[in-house]
Amino acid sequence: MAGAGVYSHALVRGIPESLAAGALRREGSGEGSDVNTASAREEHRLYVQALRDRSLVVTELPADEAYPDCVFVEDTAVVCGGTALIARPGAPSRRGEVTAIKKVLSDLGLNIVEMTDETAALDGGDILFTGKEFFVGLSARTNQRGAEILADVFKDYAVSKVSVSGALHLKSFCTMAGPELIAIGSSDQAQKTLMNMQEMSEHRYEKLTLPDDEAANCVYLNIPNKGHVLLHRTAEEFPDSAKEFGKLKDYLLIPVRNTELAKVDGGLTCCSILFNKTV
């Protein structure tokens, strides 16, 4: 059985020049906000360095100009317990991204399962693994069939489905911030979603409520001999939420700026596939 935040490896991908003009945006998201590609790459470099500094083995794929959103690798696969489910992204323009991801995960020795059902849609950004169970956000990018396939692949864990509206993905406002701690935004939609999750689960989780939904997208790492590590958005971006993160005791807190990719709906978790490889 896996655990929340227990990772040894990370897969990341570079930012293409095509991102600024070609990346997908939710309607009404980032309007009038142009992505500064150079700044985005520097923010991404520091993000990747933060993962390396925590002793993760990082595999970095080059950007592919044919896929403006390719930096958001999280959406292309779900990895747990040595098995990689190759996703079928909800946006048709992104489905070609999975080819390179499938190859590198296979080369790393993971058991590959492909989602071939053409009626299925699943983005990794809608998949929250708590270490004990999966929650799948049913969103504009992930559907019922995609959730059913995930449940069939990861039979050792309960899989619960929750509706997502007002955000791109479930993890746009809800991620793990500790072994049994869920970071959740304070919007009505976020709080309602968490309530539904708690009602469906046999497990009890603590919650860290953050004033800003975007700030609830953070990266928790539980690294042997290094303790609790949390990558979170900076105080310059979300001062009130940064104060809440600062209340966490016995954590190494690493502020990571994500201003540019946020303009095209990117969060911190979006930019990596994290997994534990024991062999």
CATH assignment of the domain containing 203: 3.75.10.10
Question: Tokens for 260?
Answer: 């540019």
Distance CA 84, CA 271 (A): 17
Residue 238 lies in a domain: yes
Closest by Cα among 71, 78, 201 to 142: 78
Q: For 193, what's the count of Cα atoms within 13 Å in the CB-facing half-sphere?
A: 32
Residue 173 lies in a domain: yes
Which residues are catalytically annotated? 169, 270
Contacts of residue 3, Cβ cutoff 8 Å, sequence gap at least 6: 131, 179, 222
Which residues make beta-bridge pairs with 277?
Answer: none
Distance CA 250, CA 81 (A): 27
Give first-to-last CA distance, the chain, whole Å. 15
Distance CA 266, CA 253 (A): 20
Q: How far from 5 is each of 113, 163, 258, CA to CA, in Å?
A: 22, 24, 20
Contacts of residue 216, Cβ cutoff 8 Å, sequence gap at least 6: 173, 174, 175, 183, 184, 185, 190, 210, 241
Residue 2 lies in a domain: no
Q: What are phi and psi of 193, to 5 degrees?
A: -65, -45
Going along the chain, which residue ranges are E strands? 9-13, 57-61, 77-80, 83-86, 111-114, 127-129, 133-138, 158-163, 174-178, 181-185, 206-210, 219-223, 227-232, 251-255, 273-275
Q: What is the DSSP letter of 5?
A: T
Distance CA 177, CA 5 (A): 9
* 3-state SS class at 267: coil
Q: Domain range spanning residue 268?
A: 9-275
Residue 142 lies in a domain: yes
Tokens 């992930």 correspond to 142
Dihedral sign from CA coordinates of 206, 210, 213, 214: negative
> Structural domain tally of the chain?
1
The DSSP result for 28-74, as a single string, is TSSTT----HHHHHHHHHHHHHHHHHTT-EEEEEPP-TT-TTTT-GG
Residue 1 lies in a domain: no
Read off the amino acid at residue 49. Answer: Q
How would you write the pLDDT of the chain (279 residues) with one tens digit per residue?
568 899 999 999 999 999 999 999 986 555 547 999 999 999 999 999 999 999 999 999 999 999 999 999 999 999 999 999 999 999 999 999 999 999 999 999 999 999 999 999 999 999 999 999 999 999 999 999 999 999 999 999 999 999 999 999 999 999 999 999 999 999 999 999 999 999 999 999 999 999 999 999 999 999 877 789 999 999 999 999 999 999 999 999 999 999 999 999 999 999 999 999 876
Question: Tokens for 209?
Answer: 């409520």
